[in-house]
Amino acid sequence: MLHLSVFVFLAAFHYHLGHAEFHFDYPTASLSTTWINNPALTPNMADYIHGEKVRILLLRGGGGPRFACVIWSANRDHLVGENATLRLTADGDLILRDSDGSSVWSTVTANRSVSNITLTHSGNLILVNRRNQSVWSSFEHPTDTLVSGQGLLVGQSLTSNYTASNSTRIRYSMSLRLQSVFAYIDSNPPQAYSKLSLKHLNPKAIRHGRNLTLNNGHLYWPDGVRTDFGGYGIWVVQFMRLEFDGRLRIYGIGPNSIPGVTVLLDYTNFDLDFCDYPMVCGQYGVCSDGQCSCPKNASDGDDSFFRPISWGLLNPGCAPVNPISCESSINHQLLPLGNVSYFNYVDDDAAALRETEEERCKQTCLTNCSCKAALFRGAVPRKKRRLLPHRPILWEKIGNGCSHCIGGHR
């Protein structure tokens, strides 16, 4: 099904990429302009890297792309179909409607003196007033990507797609908070799997606009630390994206990238190993030395409680042989998993119970139908902490029941 997703191309890409397919430049539109998702009315198209087509509404540059690379989308959680409309109204609101007329998305900028919409050289989609001042911009509402010159403010997040081809759900998010950057997997509540402490951060500076910024071959952190990934001048476009697999990558597109992008830096790999990502082995999967398996009883090695869903799929995970049912909770028991840790250790505030005992931890999980696993980490005497780091104990509920993402690694 064809759909219209409000997005912008990598702007500088249009200027430098050879073998251009298009020869027009219309980066601005005035009030009372309407675009319709119809091939007869919007004929100019380009291809996504994975094969889908995209119709061009605004283009900055004299040459066109050989492939499309989306850096911002307004409605990725609600895709629209043929004959959907995007309209810049007479009162300055930019509204996306589906073919049945229902409103899908809006900038909510009516009666704010908007005069036109423009696409900048940096890839920022902006609604401006008569003084050419920004009223609304896509840079202020990031999705999964930051382009060069764009910053992520404290309280803002990058949110990944669910899979490479499914943008209607969110799987991972990365949030900039005071003195730390957290990466989360989407759950209820969200669970952190990576934390970068900004030890040298001055909170006063961050309140005055310091942010996480990608610019000219460098990644600037709010505490003033700079990560260099090089290649400035070689790459026409550089951008950072939180991918559907939870990795934070920086990419470059050169003049001869036909098609494709180059990974300049996989930032999360500095702090995380392969097995540290929450869904690397799917639901209930256990990761060990880059290999996936299903949980086993630590006492006797019994592996009959879980079965692989399908090892022919990428990260398929495991399923309980006897699904857990809340109606038969009296039959539930906890399966001990030996030498297994959990990705959520990075969040010191994640513990459901504090200063408790191992047996109470187990019983609390058994009596709570929504609890699928219990992780206990006891206190270690201060004098022994350097010599005897405490190894946590993980139990997984078995019986008749629901499935839940349990990501662990040995």
Buried b (16+ CB within 10 A) or exposed e, 304-340: ebbebbeeeeeebbbbbeeebeeeebeebebbebeeb
Sign of the CA dihedral running 191, 195, 197, 201: negative
Query: Does 116 have pLDDT greater than 80?
Result: yes
Query: Does 49 have pLDDT greater than 70?
Result: no
Verify that 312 and 362 share a domain, yes or no. yes
In this prediction, residue 16 carries a pLDDT of 30
Within a domain: 381: yes
Within a domain: 405: yes
List Cβ neighbours of 254 (8 Å cut-off, separation of 6 or more). Answer: 234, 235, 236, 262
pLDDT digit string, tens, across residues 10-29: 433 333 333 334 444 558 89
For 13, the enclosing helix (H) or strand (E) is: helix 11-16
In this prediction, residue 210 carries a pLDDT of 60
Verify that 336 and 391 share a domain, yes or no. yes
CATH of the domain at 233: 2.90.10.10
In this prediction, residue 230 carries a pLDDT of 67
pLDDT band for position 99 (cuts 50, 70, 90)? very high
pTM for the complete prediction?
A: 0.79
- Specify the amino acid at residue 291: Q
Verify that 192 and 234 share a domain, yes or no. yes
Within a domain: 63: yes
Residue with more model confidence, 92 or 207: 92
In this prediction, residue 60 carries a pLDDT of 56
Structure tokens at 55: 């119709």
At which of 140, 158, 187 does a domain end?
A: 140
At which of 105, 140, 175 does a domain end?
A: 140
Within a domain: 6: no
Verify that 346 and 227 share a domain, yes or no. no
Verify that 238 and 316 share a domain, yes or no. no
Within a domain: 199: yes
| Mean pLDDT value of segment 227-244 | 78
pLDDT band for position 204 (cuts 50, 70, 90)? low
Closest CA to 171 of 179, 162, 163: 162
Verify that 326 and 402 share a domain, yes or no. yes
Three-state DSSP class for residue 329 = helix
- Specify the amino acid at residue 106: S
| Containing structural domain, residue 388 | 286-409
Query: Does 240 have pLDDT greater than 50?
Result: yes
Within a domain: 357: yes
Three-state DSSP class for residue 72 = coil
Percent of the chain with pLDDT over 70: 69
- Specify the amino acid at residue 268: T
Verify that 123 and 232 share a domain, yes or no. no
List Cβ neighbours of 48 (8 Å cut-off, separation of 6 or more). Answer: 54, 67, 68, 69, 70
pLDDT digit string, tens, across residues 359-399: 888 888 888 887 888 887 766 444 433 333 334 556 676 66
Verify that 103 and 216 share a domain, yes or no. no
Verify that 83 and 168 share a domain, yes or no. no
Within a domain: 3: no
In this prediction, residue 382 carries a pLDDT of 42
Q: How many domains does the chain have?
A: 3
In this prediction, residue 409 carries a pLDDT of 40
The answer to whether 265 touches 227, Cβ cutoff 8 Å, is yes
| Mean pLDDT value of segment 255-272 | 71
The answer to whether 240 touches 146, Cβ cutoff 8 Å, is yes
Verify that 216 and 158 share a domain, yes or no. yes
Within a domain: 280: no
| Mean pLDDT value of segment 119-133 | 90
At which of 272, 305, 328 does a domain end?
A: 272
